Amino acid sequence: MILTVPITGEFISPTSGNVKNPIRPISFHKLLPEGMDNFAWKALEWDFAKDLVTLEVTFSPSGKAIAFDAEGNPTAWRMETTEEFEARKAASEKAILLALKDKKVDEIYAKTGEAKLIKPR
Amino acid sequence: MTRINFHPVAAPLRTLSPANDTVQAGRYQATTLSAVDTDLAAANIKDGITLFGVEGSYSQVAAEDSLADERSAHESNTSGTRYHFNQAIEPDADFDIASVDDTFDNALVVGVAIAHAFCNGTDECLKLQLIMDGVTVAESPFIDNMQLWMVMGTKALDGLKTCICRCHNYGVGAENLNVLGRSSGAAFIAAGIAVGGIKVS
* CA–CA distances in Å: residue A87 to residues A81, A93, A94, B180: 10, 10, 11, 31
List chain A residues with CB under 8 Å of B159: none
**What's residue B70's pLDDT?**
87
Give the separation between CA A39 and CA A97, rounded to whole angstroms. Answer: 14
Residue A113 C-beta-side C-alpha neighbours within 13 Å: 4
Q: State the smallest CA–CA distance between residue A96 and chain B in angstroms.
A: 15
Kindly state the helix (H) or strand (E) to which residue B194 belongs, with its residue range. strand B191-200
**What's residue A115's pLDDT?**
94
- For residue B156, count CB atoms less than 10 angstroms from its CB and return exposed for 0-12, middle for 13-18, buried for 19 or more: middle
In this prediction, residues A80-108 reach a mean pLDDT of 94
DSSP state at residue B122: S
Give the separation between CA B22 and CA B11, rounded to whole angstroms. Answer: 17
* Residue A61 pLDDT exceeds 80: yes
Give me the DSSP letters along B23-69.
Answer: --SSEE----HHHH-TT-SGGGSBTT-EETTEEP-B---EEEEEEEE
In this prediction, residues A52-66 reach a mean pLDDT of 94
**What's residue B8's pLDDT?**
67
Dihedral angle sign, alpha carbons of residues A103, B141, A27, A57? negative
Residue in B with minimal Cα distance to A20: B134
What's the one-letter identity of residue B38?
Answer: T
Partner A contacted by B20 (CB < 8 A): no
List chain A residues with CB under 8 Å of B109: none
In this prediction, residues A61-80 reach a mean pLDDT of 87
- Mark out the alpha helices in A6-120 (DSSP H runs): 82-100, 105-112
User: Hey, are the CB atoms on A12 and B118 less than 8 Å from each other?
Assistant: no
Instruction: Measure CA of the first residue to CA of the last residue in chain B; give whole Å.
Output: 78
Disruptive mutation site among B100, B135, B154 for chain A (greatest number of A CBs within 10 Å)? B135
List chain A residues with CB under 8 Å of B142: 38, 62
**Low-confidence residues of chain B: pLDDT under 50:** none
Asked if B110 and B154 touch (Cβ cutoff 8 Å), the reply is yes
In this prediction, residues A104-116 reach a mean pLDDT of 92
Give the separation between CA A34 and CA B119, rounded to whole angstroms. Answer: 18
Q: What is the pLDDT of residues B126-172, one digit of tens each?
A: 999 999 999 999 999 999 888 899 999 999 999 999 999 999 999 98
Confidence of residue A96 (pLDDT cuts 50, 70, 90): very high
List chain A residues with CB under 8 Å of B147: 63
**What's residue B31's pLDDT?**
92
User: Hey, are the CB atoms on A19 and B137 less than 8 Å from each other?
Assistant: no
> Strand B126-132 to strand B94-119: parallel, antiparallel, or no bridges (unpaired)?
unpaired
User: Hey, are the CB atoms on B144 and A43 less than 8 Å from each other?
Assistant: no
Partner A contacted by B123 (CB < 8 A): no
Say whether A63 sits in a helix, a strand or coil. strand
